[in-house]
Amino acid sequence: MINKILGEVFNYMLKIVIIIGAVFAIYQASMWAYGSGYELMAKEPDANRTIITKEISIPQGASTETIANILEENELIRSAVYFRILAKLQGVDSLFQYGDFSLNTGMEPEEIITILSEEGEKREVVKFTIPEGFSLEQIAERVAAQGLCTESEFMDAAENGNFGYRFIDELPDRPKRLQGYLFPATYEVYADASAEDIISKMLMKFDDVFIDEYYVQAEELGYSVDEIITIASMIEKEVRVPEERPKVAGVIYNRLNIDMSLQMCSTVMYALGVPRDRLLYSDLEIISPYNTYNNLGLPIGPIANPGAAAIEATLYPENHNYLYFVLKDTETGAHEFNATLDDHNAAKNKYNQKF
């Protein structure tokens, strides 16, 4: 028995020694890599060497790779690759300015990075905000109003640009393919940014918000990312009270689960293409793949660009048995929810609502 205990203690101590050795080896390797990299970038330690001042010109729109190559060609740095890595680690690889700079061969790479990112010709920046629920056309209009590009240029880039994101590659073939994915937020772009630049920034924001957990959750719900964003876009347009978002999501899923038409007024409004304060009964007959009154299931795509709260509510809906909701307070946008048609009709009469 004692031998067994001693054996277990020995094995435990051996594991600790191995782990400590591995950690020490990793530390030594890291220090060697850092030292080697710094030596690669460092200037020659000769105190008597001649420091030469060089005038360089960074062209407007130059990439970090181009800038690093210019510096290396002028012998201001020893490795363009290492400079790019350093700029990336410092988070400034997209912040370099253009213009003429006076640098010298005695400067450290960090000093050069600071000068190039802070002391060049300052590019004019335009700041604008895209609210939750804006459509593709509204975003194009907002961007054009800032003088960044024309509406047609923006729409063309959204339709034909190649942006290479996972969620875009999975989209079905349909008009206005990026509807739903131009994330609503406040953006800062250079005044000379192209439509593609602006759209890329918006898609990058969506990619940041729609984390890996969301892909997993969508799959667990049994829906594609595009279907999730389509539902989120309806919630964005239907709901004003924050705590109602998961509840409305539950209504949508409950209806989908029993093959009941969604009957969302927001989708009909989108199909009409003209803003209305109220829908008419005749509007419900419009022939459109976005009309959820006379088509079962989801519309063919998002009807707006939803924000983070609507997306999260769609992915994590409230579990209940409601199939209906009706507007009860026009000031706050609050709804009454019901499980039966009789109760729903009674609520419509109570609040003098048609739909």
User: φ, ψ for residue 326 (rounded to 5)?
Assistant: -135, 145
In our burial notation (b when 16+ CB lie closer than 10 A, e otherwise), range 7-27 reads: eeeeeeeeeeeeeeeeeeeee
Task: Look at residue 11 in the predicted model and tell me its pLDDT.
Answer: 52
Label residue 338 by pLDDT band (50, 70, 90): very high
Task: Look at residue 33 in the predicted model and tell me its pLDDT.
Answer: 46
Task: Look at residue 55 in the predicted model and tell me its pLDDT.
Answer: 83
Domain match, 139 and 100 both: no
Label residue 51 by pLDDT band (50, 70, 90): confident
Residue 34 counted as domain residue = no
Cα gap 338→323, rounded to integer Å: 6
- CATH code: domain of residue 95: 3.30.1490.480
Domain match, 261 and 300 both: yes
Of 84-93, 134-143, 308-317, the range with the lowest mean pLDDT is 84-93
Task: Look at residue 49 in the predicted model and tell me its pLDDT.
Answer: 56
Label residue 96 by pLDDT band (50, 70, 90): confident
For residues 313-317, average pLDDT = 98
User: With contact defined as beta carbons under 8 Å apart, do 136 and 305 qualify?
Assistant: yes
User: With contact defined as beta carbons under 8 Å apart, do 86 and 109 qualify?
Assistant: yes
* Overall number of domains in the chain: 3
Cα gap 307→315, rounded to integer Å: 13
Domain match, 205 and 283 both: no
Task: Look at residue 125 in the predicted model and tell me its pLDDT.
Answer: 81
Q: For residue 84, how far is the Cα from the chain centroid?
A: 25
For residues 291-309, average pLDDT = 97
Domain match, 221 and 347 both: yes
Of 186 and 125, more confident? 186
Of 7 and 113, more confident? 113
For residues 205-209, average pLDDT = 94
Label residue 70 by pLDDT band (50, 70, 90): very high
Instruction: Tell me which residue range forms the domain holding 65.
Output: 53-118
Task: Look at residue 98 in the predicted model and tell me its pLDDT.
Answer: 83
For residues 278-303, average pLDDT = 95
Cα gap 347→258, rounded to integer Å: 22
Task: Look at residue 52 in the predicted model and tell me its pLDDT.
Answer: 84
Domain match, 145 and 234 both: no
- Final residue of a structural domain among 63, 94, 118: 118
Q: Radius of gyration of the chain from Cα atoms? A: 29
Task: Look at residue 140 in the predicted model and tell me its pLDDT.
Answer: 98
Q: Residue 248 pLDDT more than 70?
A: yes
Label residue 10 by pLDDT band (50, 70, 90): very low
- List CB contacts of 202: < 8 A, sequence separation 6 or more: 130, 139, 181, 182, 183, 185, 187
- Final residue of a structural domain among 89, 118, 147: 118
Query: In this prediction, what percent of the chain has a pLDDT beyond 90?
Result: 62
Task: Look at residue 43 in the predicted model and tell me its pLDDT.
Answer: 46
Would you give the DSSP letter of residue 243? Answer: G
What pTM was estimated for this model as a whole?
0.70
User: With contact defined as beta carbons under 8 Å apart, do 103 and 76 qualify?
Assistant: yes
Domain match, 304 and 323 both: yes
